[in-house]
Amino acid sequence: MWTFALARLAGILLAGLVLGFFVGPVWLWLLGAACVYLGWQLLNLYRLDRWLRLRSRMDPPAIGGVWGDVIAQVVRLHRRKRFHKQRLVQLFREIRRSTAALPDGVIILSPQHEIVWFNRQSARLLGLKRPVDIGLRIDNLIRSPEFIHYLHGEEFAMPLVIRPPVRMETFLALQLVPYGGGQSLLLVRDVTRQMRLEAMRKDFVANASHELRTPLTVIAGYLDTLADDPSIDPAWAGPIRDMRSQAQRMNAIIADLLELSRLEASDGEAAQEPIDVPRMLERLCRDALAQSGRPRQVLLELESDCGLQGAHHEIESAFTNLLVNGLKYTPSDGTVRMRWWLDAEGAHFAVIDSGIGIPAEHIPRLTERFYRVDAGRSRGAGGSGLGLAIVKHALQRHGGWLDVRSEEGRGSTFTCHFPPERVWKPALRSVASA
């Protein structure tokens, strides 16, 4: 192609040279030939330029030679670009359609928490408006203090459940998912149904336990009378004794169920009454020593005389449950140690026993309701199966957590950790007692 173009230029110049040689001054003819060539090229350039400008509305000009080649290249490039663009647009539409169809709300947030984009569902759930809300900070629109705290915090693993101010009867779970470049995704889900079911379950447990209590009291009362009645055939003494002990156990289970549902129902943080933990532990220890069939050694190690700020009743029931567990699963020649100490991370209470221990695979599930390590074990010992669930809930309400370590056959350690905010300092105690 290029050789042909060069040959054409050479031909035109040669023709000018030959004509100039015969007819007139050579330079004039040569100049004329060059001008004709230049003019022709300019014309082609003009046509190319016009076509590039109005590409969409006209066909490519029919020019041969080098120019035709260039035009063909441009057409090819353009076609390829259009193809890619169409594909991208299609992909983009697909994504937009699928996110719009998502049952959950999705909001894209910039690093400054400004709304970059949101789908229809999130607009419906949170009352966002398009397009005025694009570019606004999300915390200007969702102003719940809990949400603002969550947004500026670091802990995004768990979603936050709030009641949106627009429709108070619903519950929304919001979860922030940070991703590249400081941006983040805010997922919004309507969890009203789950929350209602949860509330119904709690209500049911509380009501059922309450309703069972009255008939059981009647049964237990009659059993007590029967046990003391001398006119009853002595052969019945055994069965009546069993019935009485089972009725007592049922009573204990119901009491635990009620306690648990009360802990669950009172959401938020526990109260801030000062609790004298050392004195409470001394009393628990005395009670344990008074029990028959206890392990040989029950020790109390008080390493700090600080107390706690919390709900007295809840803390006592948590500590009692742990101690009773320790006593139950420790053979009579074993040791149960209680330890209370304070360090930089807060206050801690541990029950360390030399009992039968718990296999490692059961430890994570211990705090579930009615969870049994093995079916025979605790039922024989007469537990309700709710003790550790109560401990967990009581600690949660005080900002604390339960740590369980155990080795099978060698004993277990249950440790309650309390944050420093909950510690009641001895300095305050002397003031309070004075």
Partner 1 sequence: METADLTHHISRRFNEDLEKVRNQVLQMGGFVEEQLHKAITSLVEGDSRLGESVATDDYKVNGMEVSIDEECSRILALRAPAAGDLRVIVAIIKTITDLERIGDEGEKIGYIASRLATMERPADKYREVKHLGRQVAQMVHDALDAFARMDSQAALKTAREDRMVDEEYEAIQRQCMTFMMEDPRTIRRALEIMWIVRSLERIGDHAKNICEYVIYMVHGKDIRHTSLEDVAKQIDSAHAKR
Our CB check for partner 1 shows the closer of 137 and 312 to be 137
Name beta bridge partners: 340: 302, 349
> Both tokens of residue 424?
């009641």
Provide CB contacts within 8 A for 331, sequence distance 6+: 295, 355, 356
* Strand 401-407, strand 346-353: pairing: unpaired
Q: Minimal distance in Å, beta carbon 339 to partner 1?
A: 34
Our CB check for partner 1 shows the closer of 57 and 152 to be 152
Torsion of CA 348, 354, 355, 361, to 10 degrees: 60
Torsion of CA 300, 306, 309, 315, to 10 degrees: 0
The type of residue at 202 is: K
Would you tell me which residues interact with partner 1 (CB under 8 A)? 127, 129, 132-133, 135-137, 139-145, 148, 163, 165-166, 168
Q: Minimal distance in Å, beta carbon 152 to partner 1?
A: 10
Q: Minimal distance in Å, beta carbon 103 to partner 1?
A: 25
Q: Minimal distance in Å, beta carbon 349 to partner 1?
A: 27
Our CB check for partner 1 shows the closer of 228 and 267 to be 267
Is the preceding omega at residue 131 within 30 degrees of 0, hence cis?
A: yes
Q: Minimal distance in Å, beta carbon 316 to partner 1?
A: 21
Our CB check for partner 1 shows the closer of 12 and 141 to be 141
Question: What phi and psi, each to the nearest 5 degrees, are found at residue 68?
Answer: -60, -40
Q: Minimal distance in Å, beta carbon 402 to partner 1?
A: 26
CA distance 401 to 394: 9
Our CB check for partner 1 shows the closer of 114 and 276 to be 114
Q: Minimal distance in Å, beta carbon 4 to partner 1?
A: 58
Cβ neighbours of 394 (radius 10 Å): 26
> Both tokens of residue 153?
């915090």
215 Rama class: left (phi>0) / alpha (psi -120 to 50) / beta:
alpha
Our CB check for partner 1 shows the closer of 158 and 168 to be 168
CA distance 61 to 66: 13
Q: 2 vs 11, 65, 68, 361, CA distance in Å? A: 14, 8, 12, 81
Supply the DSSP symbol for 344: T
Our CB check for partner 1 shows the closer of 146 and 368 to be 146
Our CB check for partner 1 shows the closer of 230 and 268 to be 268
Supply the DSSP symbol for 222: H
Q: 392 vs 143, 202, 224, 316, 411, CA distance in Å? A: 32, 17, 35, 13, 20
The type of residue at 6 is: L
Supply the DSSP symbol for 365: G
**Residue 371 and residue 385 in contact, taking contact as beta carbons nearer than 8 Å:** yes
268 Rama class: left (phi>0) / alpha (psi -120 to 50) / beta:
left
Our CB check for partner 1 shows the closer of 20 and 310 to be 310
Q: Minimal distance in Å, beta carbon 126 to partner 1?
A: 11
Our CB check for partner 1 shows the closer of 128 and 323 to be 128
